[in-house]
Amino acid sequence: MDITRKTDYALRMLSMLATDEAELLSVRTAAELGDVPYSFARSIQHRLAQAGIIESLRGVHGGMRLKLDPKQVSLCEIVEAVQGPIVVNECAGPDGFCPRSGSCCYHPIWIGTQELVKSYLNSVTLYDVVYGQKFPSVDAKFSDPDRFVEYVGCGSLPGCCPSA
């Protein structure tokens, strides 16, 4: 899993929008203030609008602004809006297929890692990060070895989930 440059740029732009929710921010201004190449900024604007996170208004006095309350949009939603589903290994992806996934003892590890990262990024909102209100955390189930089967679904894998 890699947090792309595009996602980093998107987070910079969204931070600007979160600090002044009512005002429209031009893509050009966001690009300049966030040190984001303009072509990236336009592409990011399009992706975030498609995801329903921002709205874009055209015209001389147009720009973009948050469509969602920054207290309601998680970092996970933003990452997935910009770069797609969080996947740590192809076999763990939504359309991932591996002929060995039913017998591979590493498959549940990749699934568990992926769920852990998603839990962490879902634990904080854009508002939390921009205003330092809350730090990321993970669900307690990830520290309980007996709950491993619960979040990786590997009960049928031989030798991988002894507690199953």
Residue 39: per-residue pLDDT: 93
> Above pLDDT 70, what percent of the chain?
92
Determine which of 2-11, 102-111, 147-156 has the lowest per-residue pLDDT on average: 147-156
**Residue 160 pLDDT exceeds 80:** no
pTM: 0.85
Task: Work out the angle at residue 147's Cα, subtended by the Cα atoms of residues 146 and 148, and round it to the nearest 5 degrees.
Answer: 95
pLDDT of residue 22: 72
Instruction: Please write the tens of the pLDDT for every residue from 21-38.
Output: 778 999 999 999 999 999
Q: What is the dihedral of CA 123, 129, 131, 135, to 10 degrees?
A: 50
User: If we measure between CA atoms, which residue out of 99, 115, 98, 106 comes closest to residue 1?
Assistant: 115
pLDDT of residue 164: 42
Residue spans per domain, the chain: 5-66, 86-152
Pick 163 or 3 by higher pLDDT: 3
How much is the average pLDDT of 56-65? 86
Residue 153 has pLDDT above 80, yes or no: no
Q: Tokens standing for 62?
A: 């147009």
CA distance 131 to 129: 6
- May I ask the CATH architecture of the domain 5-66? Orthogonal Bundle (1.10)
> Given pLDDT bands bounded at 50, 70 and 90, which one contains residue 163?
very low
pLDDT (tens digit, 9 = 90+) per residue, 85-135?
A: 998 887 777 777 777 767 788 888 888 899 999 999 999 999 999 999 888
